[in-house]
Amino acid sequence: MSSDRETRGFQAEVSRLLHLMIHSLYSNREIFLRELVSNASDACDKLRFAALDHPEWLEEDPEPAIDLAVDADTGTLTISDNGIGMNREEVVENLGTIARSGTEKFLASLTGDQKKDAQLIGQFGVGFYSAFIVADKVTVESRRAGDSAEQGVRWESDGQGEFSVETLTVPRRGTRITLHLRDDAKDFVDTGKLRGIVRQYSDHVAFPIRMAVPAGDEKAGDEKEEGATELETLNSATALWQRPRQEISDDEYKSFYRHVSHDFQDPLTWSHNRVEGNLEYTSLLYVPPRAPFDLYHREASRGLKLYVQRVFIMDDAEQFLPLYLRFIKGVVDAPGLPLNVSRELLQDYGPVRKIRAALTKRVLQMLRKLSGDQDAYDTFWQQFGQVLKEGIGEDGDNREAIAGLLRFASSTSPTPGSVGLDDYIERAGEENKRIYYLLGDSLSAARNSPHLEVFRKKGVEVLLLAERVDEWMMGFLTEYKGRTLVNAARGELDMPGDDTDEAEQPKQDAPVLGRLGEVLNEQVEAVRATARLVESPACLVLGADELGPQMRMMLEAAGQPVPESKPILEVNLSHPLMQRMAELEDSDTFAELAQLLLDQALLAEGQLPKDPAATARRLNQLLQDRAERA
């Protein structure tokens, strides 16, 4: 035993995770093999890339591979690779702690359903620890490429809270993981079972996955040695994206998706495309069925796997798709790029910009096609709709294509998120050149808004928007297919038929308007009569250029200055309350009612009055007066 052996404790979150692995997750236990093989594949990819600058690292072993070995006598399963390997510091960092919030997010996402919880392991980047589902002790021996044999390291743990690490002579670069299987997991030494798991989950790993099996019967006679073995390659070990589409089955596409995404579910759809000519590249893009835990962390790692001439270059090449498509998984292989391409070069490289533009259009076309499957698109929209909305403001070149993919709630549709702009246009007919929408703090508030009253009366559909990003988005989406998008709560209301229906236009010289303006002068920009209300006495209207409440909250949350503004109070002169106020001579009572009128208009918009206590006092007084008269 080496004199530099030391024992350390796991990070607290890792200890919790290990306890879960050991005591809870028994469904789909074979996930551990997929995760360890995937880690080995990543190590081989990293070696091939590093060898571009350090060819001597390949030494006498130039072909990366992954090997499985079983020992039924000792009950062990070993997964080894000749990839990039790790030094002592990397072993401690990678296997003893988790710097990112992946573990915490993983633990917070658990549902109590063993099968569903097990499926989260790869998604949250904690795959190595799945080894403890089947092993009561795990030994890792590794040597980083370029280091001497004496600089190897051994890591060992029983998953009970501590691990040991020591320097070790390791003759071969790469990593060797030995699992000491639990009594109830000894079936994983069965070569037939392992062969099936590899073919199911890891067939499209681009490196050969080999396993020592008894030598075939062809070694007959004197040449056949007792106990002889041979290496059997268990996977196809080919770059699936380079094969012709007609030769690839749907099951193969789905299997490859699970490999690149660490997901157990099937993708919603995919697109496989090869472009030839001056700009040559191949892409295989997938739409996942669910959002990753860090979807809204705009600084999180994202992007496609980049290959150049089938050589892995980087795992998260974000330069090939815009930020609002950060949920797309897949690979791009661009043989025209230099093998030593860097992230900085990709950022400003002309061919990359052209590939990005083409891939963006392809994803939008893929989503357009997916929208023909209502159930699948509903799933997509629930998971990624808010992110797609970011594209309206960020991608002017494709704004109309993105707009066609948006889904909204509607004043005439009971199902949230079911109405597209094309659906609206088709129902509105040719005579209506406007698309009306209404913003609200919640879908319920928007659906019950007084602004919808006249639209319901005239049978005009209004789109309802209640997410925080919506007001920002609609600042960029002003037109779609020649139709103007109009906020039903902003500015003067202009509806079809208003220019001919003069009898319904309200009188703006009613004395009650002036009295309200005097009382509420400091709180509202103006008071005017309106035809947009049918049942309610009053509502608030934004000026044509004023910020709405959603944008104000977003700016305030970001610590940005918010310009001062006051809403316009519109009143329904035909409402009994307004008729009663017009007859009221007591100025103090009028002032109290005027303030209550404004406060209830604020509440109808989902906003609080500036002085809720004063509002409560006025309401109490009103109720008391009513009770005394009863």
Rounded Cα distance between 440 and 362, Å, is 33
457, two tokens: 């009366």
Per-residue model confidence (pLDDT) at position 226: 61
User: Which pTM was predicted?
Assistant: 0.69
Rounded Cα distance between 421 and 419, Å, is 7
Amino acid at 23: H
233 touches 210 (CB < 8 A): yes
134, two tokens: 């089947």
Bridge-based pairing of strands 304-308 and 281-287 is unpaired
286 touches 270 (CB < 8 A): yes
Per-residue model confidence (pLDDT) at position 95: 81
358 touches 366 (CB < 8 A): no
Rounded Cα distance between 449 and 440, Å, is 8
Rounded Cα distance between 248 and 266, Å, is 16
Amino acid at 624: Q
Mean pLDDT of the chain: 84
Per-residue model confidence (pLDDT) at position 179: 96
Per-residue model confidence (pLDDT) at position 122: 44
Rounded Cα distance between 618 and 630, Å, is 18
User: What is the DSSP-derived secondary structure letter of residue 546?
Assistant: P
Q: Which residue in 264, 263, 256, 310 sits closest to 285, CA to CA?
A: 256
Rounded Cα distance between 562 and 143, Å, is 57
Q: Which residue in 449, 531, 440, 432 sits closest to 484, CA to CA?
A: 432
Q: Residue 52 to residues 83, 133, 508: CA-CA distances in angstroms? A: 14, 37, 78
Tally of CB atoms within 10 A around 291? 14
Q: Is the C-alpha dihedral spanning 10, 16, 17, 23 positive or negative?
A: positive
Q: Residue 286 is inside which H or E element, if any?
A: strand 281-287
Rounded Cα distance between 285 and 99, Å, is 29
Distance of CA 245 to the CA centre of its chain: 28
3-class DSSP assignment, residue 79: strand
Residue 571 main-chain phi, psi, to 5 deg: -125, 150
Residue spans of the chain under pLDDT 50: 1, 26, 99-103, 106, 114-115, 117-125, 217-223, 500
66 touches 40 (CB < 8 A): yes
Residue 331 main-chain phi, psi, to 5 deg: -130, 155
Q: Residue 265 to residues 83, 204, 255: CA-CA distances in angstroms? A: 28, 17, 10
Q: Which domains does the chain have, with CATH numbers?
A: 6-233 (3.30.565.10), 240-387 (3.30.230.80), 392-565 (3.40.50.11260)
Per-residue model confidence (pLDDT) at position 16: 65
Per-residue model confidence (pLDDT) at position 339: 65
Which ranges of 249-394 would DSSP assign to H, the alpha helix? 250-261, 343-348, 350-370, 374-394
Q: Residue 456 to residues 186, 446, 535, 536: CA-CA distances in angstroms? A: 68, 13, 11, 13
Q: Residue 103 is inside which H or E element, if any?
A: helix 102-109
DSSP labels for 194-249?
HHHHHHHHSTT-SS-EEEEEEPPTTS-GGGPPTT-EEEEE-S--S-GGGS-GGG--
Rounded Cα distance between 370 and 367, Å, is 5
Amino acid at 290: R
Question: For residue 623, what are the contacts with CB-CB under 8 A and spacing of at least 6?
Answer: none
294-303 — which CB contacts under 8 Å span 24+ positions? 294/101, 294/105, 295/326, 295/327, 295/384, 295/387, 296/387, 298/323, 302/326
Distance of CA 332 to the CA centre of its chain: 20
Using a 10 angstrom Cβ sphere, with 0-12 exposed, 13-18 middle and 19 or more buried, the burial of residue 113 is exposed
Per-residue model confidence (pLDDT) at position 99: 39
547 touches 574 (CB < 8 A): no
174 touches 65 (CB < 8 A): no
**How many alpha carbons fall within 13 Å on the CB side of residue 56?**
3
Q: Which residue in 204, 295, 208 sits closest to 258, CA to CA?
A: 204
Between the two ends of the chain, the Cα-to-Cα distance in Å is: 94
Beta strands in 105-197, from DSSP E residues, in sequence order:
135-143, 152-157, 162-168, 174-181
Amino acid at 292: P
